[in-house]
Structure formats: structure tokens, C-alpha cells
Amino acid sequence: MSVQRFGPPLPAALALVLSGCGPGETGSSSAGCAAPHVSVDQTTATGGETVTVRGRGFSDFCDDTDSVEGRTPPETDISILFTQGGTTEVLTTVDAESDYTFTATVTIPPAAAPGEATITADIPSVETVPIDITR
């Protein structure tokens, strides 16, 4: 897989790929802990259009208690990636907030071709969410 970077170089820690549980959403859980979950505010877009990506559950480890004491810091340097036709582009990098969530507004690459694409979170337990690129 090749990665093209647009704008300033960004760390590749999280990729949000569009396909999954329902329209614009992904995630799974195991052992009582919810896996990180991502969603996109729409399931279709055109090249150059902005979409909002949201994530929750972005902690370094499973914390399935309601205790605040001893909690780990949220994930940082989460890269949001766009993949289409074997090419992956870093759209932005975000840090999760203290409640392990993030919101990012990203721009679909202007050169994106009509057809299926994904936005990915480069964390093993994050599934993919599809997005259909239209003209």
C-alpha cells in the first residue's frame, strides 16, 4: 500500500476506513470492553467535499470500569486515512479528548474517482466504514 501525504507530514497512527456495522459506522467489542468506534456523517461524497469523522473509545487499553482513578491517557496522533484503488492518503491527525472521543472535519481528496472508497483508523481493533465517491 502506498501512502500519499497532502499538506504537512502527519503521523500515521489511525486510519478510518469506511465499511462496516451500518451506514457510516464501525466497531466491535470483546472481553467486556468496547473496541474503538468510528463514524462518518455521510455515506456518499464528492472529491473536494468535507465530511465529519467521529471516534469514541480511543484509549491505550481496556478500561471497562467507571472509575476515573488510574485511567490511562487517551490515544494521540490518530491518523485519519482515505483509501481508494490501493492508494492511501493521510487526511489529518487528531488526538482523542479526555473522554476518549474525537471529532475531525476532513476533505475528500479532490482527485478521488467515482466509486467505493474507505476511511480507516490505523488501530487493529477498528473496523472499516465504506464511503461512495460520486461526481
**pLDDT tens sequence across 61-119:** 765 655 555 678 899 999 999 999 999 999 999 999 999 999 999 999 999 999 999 99
Q: Per the domain annotation, does 66 fall within a domain?
A: no
Q: Per the domain annotation, does 65 fall within a domain?
A: no
Q: Domain containing 36 — which CATH number? A: 2.60.40.1930
Per the structure, the complete domain to which residue 81 belongs is given by 2-60+74-134
C-alpha to C-alpha distance for 122 and 125, rounded to whole angstroms = 9
Q: What proportion of the chain, given as a percentage, has pLDDT over 90? A: 49
| Gyration radius (Cα) of the chain, Å | 15
Between strands 115-121 and 37-40, the pairing is: unpaired
C-alpha to C-alpha distance for 135 and 130, rounded to whole angstroms = 17
Q: Say how many domains are in the chain.
A: 1
- Which pTM value belongs to this model? 0.71
Q: Per the domain annotation, does 67 fall within a domain?
A: no
Residues 16, 108 contacting (CB under 8 angstroms)? no
